[in-house]
Amino acid sequence: MPFPNFDPVIFSVGPLSVRWYGLMYLLGFLLAYLVINHLAKYRGLSLDKEGVSDLLFYAVIGVVAGGRLGYTLFYNAGYYLSHPLEIFYVWEGGMSFHGGLLGVVVALVLFSRRRNIPTLMVGDIAVTAAALGLGLGRLGNFINGELWGRVTDVPWAVIFPTAGPDPRHPSQLYEAALEGPLLFFCLWILHRRKVPAGVPFFCFFLLYGVFRFMVEFVRQPDAHLGFLWAGATMGQLLSAPMVLFGVVGLYVLRRRSLS
């Protein structure tokens, strides 16, 4: 089927343009604030409204800094080594989820130490809130007609304007569903059961890594990278350590609970 005729710009006022992708980010942060505020109270974490705002601020800095550095290192290191100043050209695009995740983890550690609150509990709440933002971000990718899937003949295949005449998997929608509501639901259930601190955090790494690894089989790899070691994509090579980290973290928590 043809790609829906989305205009990436919702409206413009003079030189200022409001885009769907930016709106998705805004909605993601709004939902994150509400989720963090609720879960902090539910899990007994001492965070007032100012604390929730500070946590979001730390997370935003971590996402932007980590996402940009991750993209330059994982996806286009050669170019940015030759043009180091362009690393700071965030407005030109180029962000890595895996780099952004590492940036957020560092930001959460700094935040929890500054506030003297449990790091794992902060991580549990933050990753749960992040899941909704991830789903909205993938929806924004679909509206922008970017990061499309591989050529296919499935009935729901989409012909993306910038991807040639062949129908492709709408892999952005697969990721939006898996990394958004499904991942959020799984983590939310864990919170409702009041599992030990750290379980939702490590489950996030495990589940996201599995979901992303699976979708990469139908997602078109980056043109300048293609297929890498053993036919894997860069997304799969970066997701595999996430799965391992999640499994090891859950194993350590299990051992601690039994000792």
Tokens for 203, please give them: 């489950």
- Which pTM does this prediction carry? 0.86
Q: What is the pLDDT of residues 30-71, one digit of tens each?
A: 998 899 999 998 988 888 888 888 888 888 888 888 877 877
Spell out the residues 6+ positions from residue 127 whose beta carbon is closer than 8 angstroms to its own.
187, 200, 201, 204
Torsion of CA 46, 52, 58, 64, to 10 degrees: 140
CA atoms within 13 A on the CB side of 26: 6
CA distances from 196 to 115, 121, 215, 232 (A): 21, 9, 30, 35
Q: 93: pLDDT confidence band, cut at 50, 70 and 90? A: low
CA-to-CA distance for 256 and 259, rounded, in angstroms?
5
Give the torsion through C-alpha atoms of 86, 92, 96, 100, to 10 deg: 80
pLDDT tens digits, 128-182: 999 998 999 899 889 888 889 999 999 999 999 888 889 999 999 999 999 999 9
Are the CB atoms for 55 and 49 separated by under 8 Å?
Answer: no
Share of the chain above pLDDT 90, in %: 43
